[in-house]
Amino acid sequence: MATPLSADKLLKALRDEGLHVVEHRSWRTNNRNHKGPWGPVHGVMIHHTVTSGTQPSVDLCYDGHSALPGPLCHGVIAKDGSVHLVGNGRANHAGLGDDDVLRAVIAEAGTLPPDNEANTDGNRHFYGFECVNLGDGKDPWPAAQLLAIERAAAAVCRAHRWTQRSVIGHLEWQPGKIDPRGFTMGSMRSRIGKRLDSPAEGPVDPPPRPAYEPFPGAAFFRAGRSSPIVTAMGRRLVAEGCGRYAVGPGPAWSEADRSSYAAWQRKLGYTGSAADGVPGRGSWDRLKVPNV
Ligand SMILES: [Zn+2]
């Protein structure tokens, strides 16, 4: 039993497990919490999509369809091993399953009872990963995708201090389901268990770069300073109609930079010493200097 991970914690857990993670649209607020409870969480459920192509599969799992509104899972695992986050909260993936199975998952029992009842709300208790595969028994499961399934399930288990016995397939939960088809959940659980014996491998994705240059501090802007940030700032000042350059802009902080920046401050409504041409955080953030 556990409280569901926050969006930030889920994202960090997946990245720390060495996965390439893509945040799809407003996944952080995409859920079915208005239709029922989310949590306590007890495990991870693996599915196949019965679709092909990463983008159509991700779009479908985010939006759902008229008979089954999205999100249809929390993350979509593509054939290239990338994980696309589409939901955070209650998602339409598990449906009604067997209470005996839920008890076995909670106890992390070694064997699962047959799933011969549909009497328990699984969407409340399971994280769901939809894996892109036609589910026809012929569509291949690339090694990169199987590795990503192993990593994603391990990431959630590690975050909750669960073992691999908290990971089940949809076919082990709900009568009549066959997914995932093409590998056994027993083999996948054994891979997850081995992975959990060692620490997480750490992130492979570089931390996302901010779109704009962060404010470098007022002391940055002094005579003798030479930096591509000064050039980028000057170009933005020119674009805003505030350029007071005879030549340039260039990397060396100059009187022309100062008077150009003062024009920008006046344009924003600053007056007096607040429009002295020395950048401050508020005016800098509004200038949106591109990352250099
Ligand atoms: Zn399924």
CA 98, CA 108: separation in Å to the nearest integer? Answer: 15
Query: In terms of DSSP H, where are the helices of the chain?
Result: 7-16, 54-63, 99-106, 143-160, 185-196, 228-239, 255-267, 281-287
Name the CA dihedral angle for 166, 36, 92, 16, rounded to a multiple of 10 degrees.
-50
How close is the Cα of 46 to the center of ligand 1, in Å?
Answer: 7
Across the chain, what does the average pLDDT equal?
96
Query: Is the entire prediction scored with pTM above 0.85?
Result: no
Residue 116: pLDDT over 70: yes
CA 273, CA 271: separation in Å to the nearest integer? Answer: 6
Distance of CA 217 to the CA centre of its chain: 31
Q: What is the DSSP letter of 114?
A: P
In the block, residue with structure tokens 């593509």: 78
How close is the Cα of 182 to the center of ligand 1, in Å?
Answer: 14
How close is the Cα of 178 to the center of ligand 1, in Å?
Answer: 8
How close is the Cα of 111 to the center of ligand 1, in Å?
Answer: 20
Which residues have CB under 8 Å from 109's CB, separation 6+?
A: 165
CA distances from 183 to 18, 41, 56, 111, 145 (A): 22, 25, 23, 18, 12
Angle at 202 between CA 196 and CA 207, to 5 degrees: 145
How close is the Cα of 48 to the center of ligand 1, in Å?
Answer: 6
Residue 151's pLDDT band, with cuts at 50, 70 and 90, is: very high
Query: What token pair was written down for 105?
Result: 């998952």
Residue 67's pLDDT band, with cuts at 50, 70 and 90, is: very high
How close is the Cα of 1 to the center of ligand 1, in Å?
Answer: 22
Query: In terms of DSSP H, where are the helices of 17-135?
Result: 54-63, 99-106
Query: Does residue 278 contact residue 233 with C-beta atoms inside 8 Å?
Result: no
- Average the pLDDT over 139-146 and give the result: 98
Amino acid at 55: Q
Residue 257: pLDDT over 90: yes
- Average the pLDDT over 197-215 and give the result: 86
Residue 61's pLDDT band, with cuts at 50, 70 and 90, is: very high
**Percent above pLDDT 90 for the chain:** 96
Residue 205: pLDDT over 90: no
Which residues have CB under 8 Å from 75's CB, separation 6+?
A: 14, 83, 84, 85, 86, 128, 129, 130, 152
Query: Does residue 168 contact residue 43 with C-beta atoms inside 8 Å?
Result: yes
Residue 208's pLDDT band, with cuts at 50, 70 and 90, is: low
How close is the Cα of 61 to the center of ligand 1, in Å?
Answer: 11
Residue 221's pLDDT band, with cuts at 50, 70 and 90, is: very high
Question: How would you label 132-171 residue by residue, b for 16+ Cβ within 10 Å and e otherwise?
Answer: bbebeeeeebeeebbbbbbbbbbbbbbbbebebbbbbbbb
Amino acid at 200: A
3 state DSSP class of 43: strand
